[in-house]
Amino acid sequence: MEFRIEQKERSAEPFSEYCYYIFRGDLLIAEYWHDHRGDEHGIRFTDGRKEKWPIGRSSDFLNGGGPNPHTLSKKAVDYLKRRLRD
């Protein structure tokens, strides 16, 4: 299973959530979000399942940011593989 993540356009409102689309191949499987500080985070799967705090902190889920592209961490990929088997 190959996963990729794309950042969704962010709202202009201050302190709005950061949202990301997660794809398996070309298929959208989930939307991941975190607050402006990265303290709160969660995932919404396209089948309707939702979960807060899927693993540790948001920095445990995502790599990159700033000038570097966002990628899913190994922990995030392992989490997604487990959830998609359920």
pLDDT in tens, 53-75: 888 888 889 998 888 888 999 99
* Statement: residue 12 has pLDDT above 90: no
Q: Give, in degrees to the nearest 5, the angle at Cα 76 between 31 and 37.
A: 65
* Structure confidence at residue 1 as a pLDDT band (50, 70, 90): low
Q: Report the pLDDT value the prediction gives residue 11, as an integer from 0 to 100.
A: 65
**SS3 state of residue 49:** coil
Output the CA–CA distances (angstroms, integers) from residue 73 to 12, 21, 54, 84, in the order listed.
Answer: 27, 15, 12, 16
For residue 36, the model assigns a pLDDT of 75
